[in-house]
């Protein structure tokens, strides 16, 4: 199967008062369309940094990130922005919803930016995410679980090829987190997208196809989920 995402010897460091801090040191992996990959590791292991590099939010020091054959790291800022809006959906741990837009407008925001506004699909997403009754409300009027589902819905509304999720259930209780993840997996499977998810939870990681474990910026373990 051809790979949607190929990461080759990716390295990233940051300047600190005590010298450069090497966060990632030569990480390589790939992800095929329709596959779901969990990224685990202790705090500071470089999980979020890897996610940001894959999403084109940051540039690596060296190495390569190719999405459907396109080298992301080499793209200028404008082209990376275009790639993000058309091919990638990102779910942040802190939701990052736009407080001045209604639930309906938040849901459709990226789809509109990508030129893929599909009212029927967005209505279906809203229903399946349990947001059908809240479309006219604003994010501040939603519970934490609803806000997280809205963030997932916004990312999926544009039918991205790759969904990146950074601790998407980190702010939710166990029961709600399980329900949100089940729904996310179902939607990813239906849309044919690939999922790369950062999580601390081994239990959640076990629900995906594969698991990568990062330790000290190195890929220490890759395994199929149980």
Partner 1 sequence: MSRPASPAGVLRWTLATLLSHWWRSPIQLAALVVGLSVATALWSGVQALNAEARASYDRAAEAFGSRLPRLEPVGASRFDQSAYVALRRAGWPVTPVLEGTVSPDHAAPDPAPLRLIGIDPLTMPAGAGLVLDAPDAAEDDGENGDGFAEFILPPHRTYAAAETMRALGLGEGAVPRLADGPALPPLSLRPRLSPGLLVVDVGAAQTVLQAPDALSYLLIAPGGTAGLAAPKDVTDIPLRRSQPEGAGDLDRLTESFHMNLTAFGLLAFLVGLFIVNAAIGLAFEQRRTMFRTLRATGVSAGMLAGALGLEMVVLALGAGLLGLVGGYGVAAALLPDVAASLRGLYGADVPGSLGLRPGWWAAGLAMSVAGAMLAAGQSLWRAYTMPLLAAAGPQAWAEAQRRWLRRQGLVALGVALVALALPLTGLSGLMAGFGQLAGLLLAAALLLPVLLAGLLGAAERLAAPGLGRWFWADSRQQLPGLSLALMALLLALGVNIGVGTMVGSFRATFTHWLDDRLAAEVYFRAADTAEARRMTDWLEARDEVAAVLPNWRAEARLEGWPVDVYGFTDDPLYRTRWPLLAELPQVWDRIAAGEAALVSEQLAYRLDLAPGERIALPGAEGRLEAVVGGIYADYGNPKGQMRVDLALLLQHWPDVEQRAFGVRLDGAPAAPLVADMRETFGLGEDRLRDNETLKALSLRIFERTFVVTGALNTLTLGVAGIALLTSLVTLSGLRLPSLAPVWALGVTRRSLGLMELGKMLALALFTGLIAIPLGLGIAWMLVAVINVEAFGWRLPLTLFPLDWARLLALAVLTAGLAAALPLWRLARMAPARLVAVFASAR
Choice from 22, 66, 116, 200 touching partner 1 (CB under 8 A):
116
Distances (CA, A) of 107 to 28, 84, 156, 158, 197: 33, 16, 9, 9, 20
| Count of residues that interact with partner 1, criterion CB under 8 A | 35
175 binds partner 1 (CB under 8 A): no
Stretch that binds partner 1, among 24-32, 35-43, 95-103, 218-226 (CB under 8 A): 95-103
115 in contact with partner 1 (CB under 8 A):
yes
- 184 is an interface residue for partner 1 by CB under 8 A: no
Tell me the C-alpha distance between 93 and 85, whole Å: 19
77 binds partner 1, rule: CB under 8 A: yes
* 90 belongs to the binding site for partner 1 (CB under 8 A): yes
- The answer to whether residue 67 forms part of the interface with partner 1 (CB under 8 A) is no
Q: Which CB, 39 or 205, lies closer to partner 1?
A: 39
**CA–CA separation, 198 vs 37, rounded Å?**
9
Site string for partner 1, 7-36 (x = CB under 8 A): ------------------------------
* 121 is a site residue for partner 1 (CB under 8 A): no
Q: Under the rule (CB under 8 A), what is the footprint of partner 1?
A: 52, 55, 57-58, 77-78, 80-86, 88, 90, 92, 96-101, 105, 109-110, 112-118, 138, 154, 159
């Amino acid at each position: 199967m051809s790979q949607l995402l190929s990461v080759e010897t990716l390295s990233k460091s940051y300047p600190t008062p005590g010298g450069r801090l090497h966060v990632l040191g030569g990480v390589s992996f790939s992800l095929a369309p329709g596959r779901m990959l969990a990224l685990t590791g202790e705090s500071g292991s470089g999980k979020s940094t890897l996610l940001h590099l894959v999403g084109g939010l940051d540039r690596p020091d060296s190495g390569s990130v190719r999405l459907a054959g396109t080298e992301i790291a080499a793209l200028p800022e404008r082209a990376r922005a275009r790639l993000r809006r058309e091919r990638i959906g990102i779910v942040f741990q802190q939701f990052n919803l736009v407080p001045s837009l209604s639930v309906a407008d938040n849901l459709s925001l990226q789809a509109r930016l990508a030129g893929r506004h599909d009212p029927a699909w967005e209505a279906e997403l809203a229903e399946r995410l349990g947001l059908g009754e809240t479309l006219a409300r604003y994010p501040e009027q939603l519970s934490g679980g609803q806000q997280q589902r809205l963030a997932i819905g916004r990312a999926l509304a544009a039918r991205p090829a790759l969904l990146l999720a950074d601790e998407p259930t980190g702010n939710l209780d166990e029961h709600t987190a399980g329900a949100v993840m089940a729904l996310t997996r179902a939607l990813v499977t239906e849309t044919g997208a690939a999922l790369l998810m950062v999580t601390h939870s081994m239990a959640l990681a076990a629900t995906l196809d594969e698991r990568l474990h990062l330790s000290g910026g190195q890929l220490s373990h890759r395994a199929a989920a149980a």
